[in-house]
């Protein structure tokens, strides 16, 4: 599995009054990792890549320890081998100092067209980019 890393400084607005990161922010961090991985694979969904969307159909997070204001976290994101027009990403969130595991998660995504119709097979140009990202090992 090829892991993409994103470093994120914990901002004050992400924390409760005790300086602990609110649980909902981990999903934002997952998205940051997923977008970075997609960009590195050459799939930029910010540009409505060929009129496709990649909606989240399932997401989860297993919290291990709390991140706190002033720390830096590292979000590692990997893509699981695609199945049809369905992608699964996995995430690990670490405290940068000491590399303590803070959370593990995953998200599942379908591909749809902009009109909402489901795509049942990955388009060839997307499949080729993913194959290249994996170094031909897909």
Residue 70: inside a domain: yes
Check whether 136 has a pLDDT greater than 90. Answer: no
What's the alpha-carbon Rg for the chain, to the nearest Å? Answer: 16
Q: What percent of the chain shows pLDDT beyond 70? A: 93
Residue 34: inside a domain: yes
Mean pLDDT computed over 42-71: 85
Mean pLDDT computed over 9-36: 97
What's residue 74's pLDDT? Answer: 98
- 50 Rama sector, left if φ>0, alpha if ψ -120 to 50, beta otherwise: left
Residue-number span of the structural domain to which 68 is assigned: 3-133
Domain count, the chain: 1
- C-alpha dist (Å) from residue 38 to 35, 47, 135: 5, 12, 15
pTM of the model: 0.90
What's residue 115's pLDDT? Answer: 87
**Rounded to 5 degrees, what are φ and ψ at 77?**
-125, 135
Residue 14: inside a domain: yes
Check whether 137 has a pLDDT greater than 60. Answer: no
Residue 52: inside a domain: yes
Q: What percent of the chain shows pLDDT beyond 90? A: 64
Residue 123: inside a domain: yes
Q: Are strands 56-63 and 72-79 parallel, antiparallel or unpaired?
A: unpaired
What's residue 138's pLDDT? Answer: 44
Model confidence pLDDT, tens digit, residues 49-58: 567 888 999 9
Model confidence pLDDT, tens digit, residues 80-133: 988 778 899 999 999 999 999 999 999 999 988 888 898 888 888 888 888 899
CATH, residue 106: 3.10.129.10
Residue 21: inside a domain: yes
Residue 138: inside a domain: no
């Amino acid at each position: 599995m090829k892991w993409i890393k994103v470093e994120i400084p914990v901002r004050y607005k992400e924390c409760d009054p005790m300086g602990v990161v609110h649980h909902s922010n981990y999903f934002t961090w997952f998205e940051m990792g997923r977008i970075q991985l997609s960009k590195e694979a050459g799939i930029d969904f910010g540009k409505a890549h060929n009129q496709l969307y990649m909606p989240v159909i399932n997401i989860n997070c297993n919290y291990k320890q709390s991140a706190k204001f002033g720390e830096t976290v590292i979000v590692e994101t990997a893509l699981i081998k695609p199945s049809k027009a369905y992608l699964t990403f996995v995430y690990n969130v670490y405290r940068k100092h000491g590399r303590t595991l803070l959370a593990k998660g995953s998200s599942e995504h379908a591909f749809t067209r902009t009109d909402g119709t489901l795509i049942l097979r990955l388009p060839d140009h997307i499949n080729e980019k993913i194959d290249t990202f994996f170094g031909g090992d897909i």
